[in-house]
Amino acid sequence: MTVAVLWFRKSLRLHDNEALTWACSSDEVDSILPIYIFDEGEIDGGGEALGFNRIKFTEQALKDLDSGLRKELGICLKIFSGDYQEVLKKIVTGIGGERVCLAYEYCSEPRIRDAEDALKDWFGISESFRTISFPARHTLLDIEEVVGSKDYKKPNSMKDMERIFRRHFDVNSMGFYEVGDPLPVPNNSKPLTDAYSSVNCLEISDLERIIMETYPERSDNTQYFPGGETEALERLRNKVTDRRQFVNEFRKPNTISTNSEDDPREPSTTGLSAYLSSGCLSIRMLWRECESSYLSGSHTKPPESLHGQMMFREMFYLLSRSVENWDSDVGNDSCIEVAWDDFDREKIMAWETGSTGYPYIDAMMRQLDETGWMHHLGRHAVSCFLTRGQLWQNWTHGRDVFERKLVDSDWALNNGNWLWLAGVAPFSMPYYRIYNPCPDSKSSLNVETVNAEFIRYWVPELRSFPSKYIFEPHLAPISIQKSAGCMIGDDYPLPIVDRKQSRKENLIRFKASREK
Ligand SMILES: Cc1cc2nc3c(=O)[nH]c(=O)nc-3n(C[C@H](O)[C@H](O)[C@H](O)COP(=O)(O)OP(=O)(O)OC[C@H]3O[C@@H](n4cnc5c(N)ncnc54)[C@H](O)[C@@H]3O)c2cc1C
């Protein structure tokens, strides 16, 4: 008897899941145990490591996965918490007397690869145990294969990515890369094994309780981005499959950072990032849906197109695997050293809580806190403001806040984009291109300025302010502040720094760091 322990990590889905497909169809597997493990510290000890939106999203994704497994395959998900290695060893030895195969999807993060290496050694102690890893499901490219190839050079641009794609994928007669088809949901199930009794598992209701206890103030919240494969497939249909014109004309730099005009929470882009980073949606599925749309007529191309966005995603995955100390500002050859100011709690807190006195920045940060998401150009603006633009704080502080709060939080992408925006990496935008935190209608941040509904929604103190002053309310005459019912300095903060002065000083400091 062989038991396949299916370790769900990033592919929280039934479709395009190679490990699941293998376990369901392989003759050598007699029964299956699908598991998910919260790493030590993620939900025990208070659970604040994952912000409310992240943990809630994960809980909903697991619930949806469990119900999909039950409905389609008659098996259910078991959830654990603790040190990966310890939990897995207990599960595997608890199964006792059987042959056990631990199956999982490849993951490029160093701390997880380290845990895997240690596990592989441990699994080697018995002929009854083995591990099997499936390489390229979370990305289009097989990361290890590309990074290990003789001619691999770290990519810094879309041109480099086109070169890598051409080398690793065939191109079909329509001119598209052959990235492979997403796998269907398997239908030939195996029974669930119940021989894992030595480890306590968590019920979904335990997760709900932990979240309520950790975030009591959020108990009435409904999530704008609910987790799960069901939601992912619905958003894919609504935003991509059924919107060919949107897909074919998609140019990322033209999308509006202040969201849809009729809903200040709904992205002008696809809003699929959280579903991709958790693996509720397969990247291959999104790629192929866009391709189907492109076949219907003329369409935009990388870097601006949706395929281009996915190629940026691949680029950061490759870099995160090939740049040492990717998540650090020390010993990272993709990060120049900058003499940032010491951690300034007051400034960081004002930034994080959306009380800098700059309404566009504050609206973006409050949106992040409330929904766990922010438009890409909003992310540009707030990260530039925190680092080389105004506050001169180390990018790693902002990265940490994003990591905790983003529903799409992704180690490879979050670090890569912070490096990009802080101006410190070879692939960064020019350091002297600093965003104005008080954008006007011509700003490349693409802000809706006529009605300014986005600011009114997220910064309700300014709800009655005239649009003319709403992006820089401290410049409004006192009479206007009075009639709008919001006195700047009392009801809404004065700017924490002078934006023009800080910009000027920081440009000089950044130039000096580069020259050094
Ligand atoms: C400072 C900063 C931090 C970021 N942190 C993250 C993060 O932790 N996780 C994350 O998924 N994205 C991150 N991004 C990238 C980008 O902002 C989001 O992927 C995008 O806004 C998600 O919205 P969407 O799904 O509507 O994107 P769309 O424009 O619809 O793009 C489709 C998909 O392409 C991928 N993509 C798009 N832009 C990028 C990009 N610049 N880099 C890598 N992949 C991209 C995403 O998977 C996205 O879902 C960050 C950007 C910045 C500037």
Nearest CA to ligand 1 atom 32: 309
**CATH code, 457:** 1.10.579.10
Give the residue whose CA is nearest to atom 47 of ligand 1: 273
Please name which of 51, 440, 423 lies closest in space to residue 221, comparing C-alpha atoms.
51
State which of 408, 410, 420, 433 you would mutate to test the pocket of ligand 1, scoring each by most atoms of that ligand within 8 A of its C-beta.
408
Residue 460 lies in a domain: yes
Ligand 1 pocket residue status of 163, Cβ below 6 Å: no
The secondary structure element, H or E, covering residue 504 is helix 499-515
Does 151 fall in a domain? yes
Is residue 221, in this structure, part of any structural domain at all?
A: no
Question: What's the CA-to-centroid distance between 409 and ligand 1, angstroms?
Answer: 9
- Same domain? For 55 and 115 the reply is yes
Any atom of ligand 1 within 6 Å of the Cβ of 387: no
Q: Are residues 146 and 270 in the same domain?
A: yes
> How far is ligand 1, taken at its centre, from the CA of residue 283, in Å?
13
Q: How many helices (H) and strands (E) does the chain have?
A: 21, 5
Mutate to test the pocket of ligand 1, among 156, 241, 265, 309 (most ligand atoms within 8 A of CB): 309
| Closest of 380, 480, 475 to residue 436, by C-alpha | 380
Ligand 1 atom at minimum distance from 418 CA: 1
Atom of ligand 1 at shortest range from CA of 374: 21
Ligand 1, from 376, 407, 411: best to mutate by most atoms within 8 Å of Cβ?
A: 376
**Domain identity same for 292 and 361:** no
Ligand 1 pocket, mutate which of 260, 265, 273, 446 (most atoms under 8 A from CB): 273
What is the distance in angstroms between the CA of the first residue and the CA of the last residue of the chain? 64
Q: How far apart are CA 383 and CA 419, in angstroms?
A: 10
Q: Is 379 in the pocket of ligand 1 (CB under 6 A)?
A: yes
- Domain assignment present for residue 451? The answer is yes
Are 264 and 305 within one domain? yes
Longest dimension (CA), the chain: 81
- Which residue's alpha carbon is at the smallest distance from atom 21 of ligand 1? 376
Locate the ligand 1 atom nearest the alpha carbon of residue 310 and give its number.
34
Atom of ligand 1 nearest to the CA of 255: 29
Residues 370 and 476 in one domain: yes
In the listed set 86, 113, 138, which residue is the last one of a domain according to the structure?
138
Q: Residue 34: name the closest of 86, 84, 80 by CA.
A: 80
Question: The tokens of 231 are what?
Answer: 């939601």
Pairing status of strand 99-105 against strand 129-134: parallel
Nearest to residue 132, comparing CAs of 20, 50, 37?
A: 20
pLDDT of residue 198: 58
Q: Which of 343, 444, 358 is nearest to 401 (CA)?
A: 343
Domain match, 350 and 456 both = yes
CATH number at residue 262: 1.25.40.80
Give the position, in ligand 1's atom list, of the atom nearest the Cα of 239.
30
Q: Cα(276) to centroid of ligand 1, in Å? A: 10
* CATH number for the domain that contains residue 79: 3.40.50.620
For 240, the domain range is: 139-178+231-322
Interatomic CA distance for residues 45 and 175, integer angstroms: 52
Is there a domain that residue 327 lies in? no
Pair (415, 485) in one structural domain:
yes
pLDDT for 219 equals 77
Same domain for 366 and 476, yes or no, is yes
Q: Answer yes or no: is 191 within a domain.
A: no
The answer on 361 and 450 residing in a single domain is: yes
Co-location of 25 and 98 in the same domain? yes
Q: What is the total count of domains within the chain?
A: 3
Q: Assess whether 110 and 157 both reside in one domain.
A: no
- Whether the model clears a pTM of 0.85, i.e. scores above it, the answer is yes
Instruction: Give yes or no for a contact between 462 and 270, defined as CB atoms under 8 angstroms apart.
Output: no
Within-domain flag for 411: yes
How many angstroms separate the alpha carbon of residue 90 from the centre of ligand 1? 37
Atom of ligand 1 nearest to the CA of 382: 1
| Contact (CB, 8 A) for 335 and 424 | yes
Distance (Å, rounded) from C-alpha 231 to C-alpha 225? Answer: 8
Say if ligand 1 is within 6 A of residue 316 CB: yes
243 lines ligand 1 (CB under 6 A): no
**How many CB atoms within 10 Å of residue 387?**
26
**Ligand 1 contact via 49 beta carbon (within 6 Å):** no
Q: For residue 344, what pLDDT is reported?
A: 98
User: Per-residue confidence of the chain (516 residues) as pLDDT tens digits?
Assistant: 899 999 999 999 999 999 999 999 999 999 999 999 999 888 876 556 789 999 999 999 999 999 999 999 999 999 999 998 899 988 888 887 789 999 999 999 998 888 888 888 888 877 888 899 998 889 999 999 999 999 999 999 999 999 999 999 999 988 999 999 999 999 877 877 766 655 778 989 999 999 999 899 887 778 899 999 999 999 999 999 999 999 999 999 999 999 998 999 999 999 999 999 999 999 999 999 999 999 999 999 999 999 999 999 999 999 999 999 999 999 999 999 999 999 999 999 999 999 999 999 999 999 999 999 999 999 999 999 999 999 999 999 999 999 999 999 999 999 999 999 999 999 998 999 999 999 999 999 999 999 999 999 999 999 999 999 999 999 999 999 999 999 999 999 999 999 999 999 999 999 999 888
| CB of 269 closer than 6 angstroms to any ligand 1 atom | yes
pLDDT at residue number 236:
98
- Looking at residue 297, its pLDDT comes to 94
417 and 433 share one domain: yes
For ligand 1, whether the C-beta of 383 sits within 6 Å is: yes
Q: Is the distance from CB of 43 to CB of 55 less than 8 angstroms?
A: yes
| Ligand 1 atom nearest residue 274's Cα | 11
Last residue of a domain, one of 322, 355, 385: 322
Both tokens assigned to 91: 């599960």
Sorted by sequence, the CB contacts under 8 Å of residue 158 that are 6+ apart come out as: 302, 303, 308, 311, 312, 315
**Alpha carbon of 373 to ligand 1 centroid (Å):** 10
**Residue spans of beta strands (DSSP E) within 21-72:** 31-38
* b/e per residue 435-472 (b: at least 16 CB within 10 A): bbbbbeeebebbbbbeebbbbbbbbebbeebeeebbbb
Number of CB atoms found within 10 A of residue 45's CB: 9
In the numeric block, the tokens 């994704």 are attached to 61
C-alpha torsion angle, residues 387, 389, 392, 398 (rounded to 10): -20
Residue 193 lies in a domain: no
Q: Compute, in angstroms, the gap from residue 131 CA to the centroid of ligand 1.
A: 32
With a 6 A CB cut-off, is 380 part of the ligand 1 pocket? Answer: yes
